[in-house]
Amino acid sequence: MPDHDVLIVGAGPVGLLLACLLVQEGLQVAVCERRKEDDDRTRAIGIHRPGLEVLEAAGIGDAVRAQGLRLEGGEVRSRRRTLATLTFAADRPVLILPQPRTGALLRARLQSLSAEALILGCDVTGIRQTAEAVHVTADAADGRRELSAAVVVVADGVRSRLRDDLGLGWRPRTGRASYAMVDVIDSAPGARAVLHCEPEGLVESFPLPDGRRRWVVRVSEGRGLEGIEDFCAAIATRTGVDLGLPPDVRPTAFVAAQHTAKRVHRGRIVLLGDAAHEVSPIGGQGMNLGWVDAVRLAERLARSAPARMPDLTAYDRQVRRSASRAQRRSAFYMSMGAPAPATTVRAREVLMRTLGSAPLRGWTAGLLTMRGL
């Protein structure tokens, strides 16, 4: 018999969420995380209604609401003019909570459910599948470990080594751009986002909890911003906003790209979250989509006796279909913030005014809050 019902590789927010759901169902779960310390990098911040429902099912919904900032809505601007204003309805809330804090809540919840489930400093280096189990080799602080499970879930992120080792493929999808961002103290705290879709490129401004704000600037592919001076100059040129940040602030550069695995499972091994599909963070759907996938997977694994091979064919199709929808939306969002000539900018402004008009405003807000995914 295998050591565990399910072994999860990766203790990001998606892997931790799945672990909580499975332990609540009475399954024996282990989570192998190569990092020894918590990952405090600031990345995903938006929690949409589908994600909030999943977090509630995992037992941390109230804590997320208490720590998160409720995003009231936002506006879209271009060439110093407001084109559209949206308000998020109470039945489709968007909460803002930086990923490290969400991850901390999930870790605490998992440890309260199963103190031994999370194994830090455990780097999975090999997976071997047999008819009855999956055997995992890992390097840990106490030496090499040999673990086994009825099912192994690979949730080790976009750069998953194991996905490549398993030969599950990685196909590029439409939508790719480079950005830089900083999180700073907000001089005028609020609860609304502002998107500047300028001819020179996108500038985003999102409120964060504790009186802070995230600024994101689109940059040319292959070219970063030399420092905070260039970052602030780009924002001032495009929007007229003078941030006046101190010289020791360092922007974080990142590339928003989109990929999907050719398959998300092979026998008893399943890809989950960013290991299965990369969705641009512009639009804020990636982490939430991974959580929705985790619920679907947990339901199937809980229904299967540990010794029996779960049928994941329908799950595989559902995951790739939802990812494709999310990627199409994200590609559209990125196109609205791409540098463009005057004729394209004018046409884009007409489209954004139309999407923000009274007849379509509710439908547009639904798209932005992951309705239909």
List, in sequence order, every residue forming a beta bridge with 53; answer none if it has no partner.
Answer: none
| Residue bearing tokens 């900032």 | 69
User: Which pLDDT score is estimated for 321?
Assistant: 93
**Distance, CA of 30 to CA of 16 (rounded, Å):** 10
**Distance, CA of 30 to CA of 157 (rounded, Å):** 17
Domains in the chain and their CATH numbers?
4-71+95-172+259-334 (3.50.50.60), 177-256 (3.30.70.2450)
Strand 69-70 with 265-266, pairing: unpaired
pLDDT band at 223 (very low <50, low <70, confident <90, very high): low
3-state secondary structure 252-310: EEEEECCEECCCCEECCEEECHHHCEECCCCCCCHHHHHHHHHHHHHHHHHHCCCCCCC
pLDDT digits (tens, 9 = 90+) for 52-63: 999 999 999 999
The residues near 188 (Cβ < 8 Å, ≥ 6 apart) are none
- N-term to C-term CA, the chain: 37
**Distance, CA of 303 to CA of 358 (rounded, Å):** 45
Share of the chain above pLDDT 70, in %: 97
Q: Look at residue 192 and tell me whether its pLDDT is greater than 90.
A: yes
User: Which pLDDT score is estimated for 209?
Assistant: 95
| Of 10-24, 217-231, 233-247, the least confident | 217-231
Q: Look at residue 90 and tell me whether its pLDDT is greater than 90.
A: no
State the average pLDDT over residues 226-232: 89
User: Which pLDDT score is estimated for 224?
Assistant: 64
**Distance, CA of 89 to CA of 12 (rounded, Å):** 29
Cβ-based neighbour number of residue 283 at 10 Å: 21
Token pair belonging to 108: 């605490």
**Distance, CA of 186 to CA of 193 (rounded, Å):** 12
Q: Look at residue 188 and tell me whether its pLDDT is greater than 90.
A: no
User: Which pLDDT score is estimated for 307?
Assistant: 60
Q: Look at residue 41 and tell me whether its pLDDT is greater than 80.
A: no
User: Which pLDDT score is estimated for 51?
Assistant: 93
CB 4 within 8 A of CB 149: yes
Q: Look at residue 305 and tell me whether its pLDDT is greater than 70.
A: no
**Distance, CA of 295 to CA of 301 (rounded, Å):** 10
pLDDT band at 152 (very low <50, low <70, confident <90, very high): very high
State the average pLDDT over residues 15-26: 97
Which 8-state DSSP code applies to residue 355? H
User: Average pLDDT, whole number, for the chain?
Assistant: 92
CB 173 within 8 A of CB 166: no
User: Which pLDDT score is estimated for 220?
Assistant: 85
- Residue 103: closest CA among 19, 201, 165: 19
Q: Look at residue 72 and tell me whether its pLDDT is greater than 80.
A: yes
User: Which pLDDT score is estimated for 42?
Assistant: 66
State the average pLDDT over residues 295-302: 94
pLDDT band at 370 (very low <50, low <70, confident <90, very high): confident
Burial bucket for residue 168 (CB in 10 Å: 0-12, 13-18, 19+): buried
Phi/psi for 318 (5° steps) reads -65, -40
User: Which pLDDT score is estimated for 306?
Assistant: 61
Token pair belonging to 362: 């509710």
**Distance, CA of 152 to CA of 127 (rounded, Å):** 9
pLDDT digits (tens, 9 = 90+) for 318-335: 999 999 999 999 999 999
**Distance, CA of 357 to CA of 351 (rounded, Å):** 10
Q: Look at residue 183 and tell me whether its pLDDT is greater than 90.
A: yes
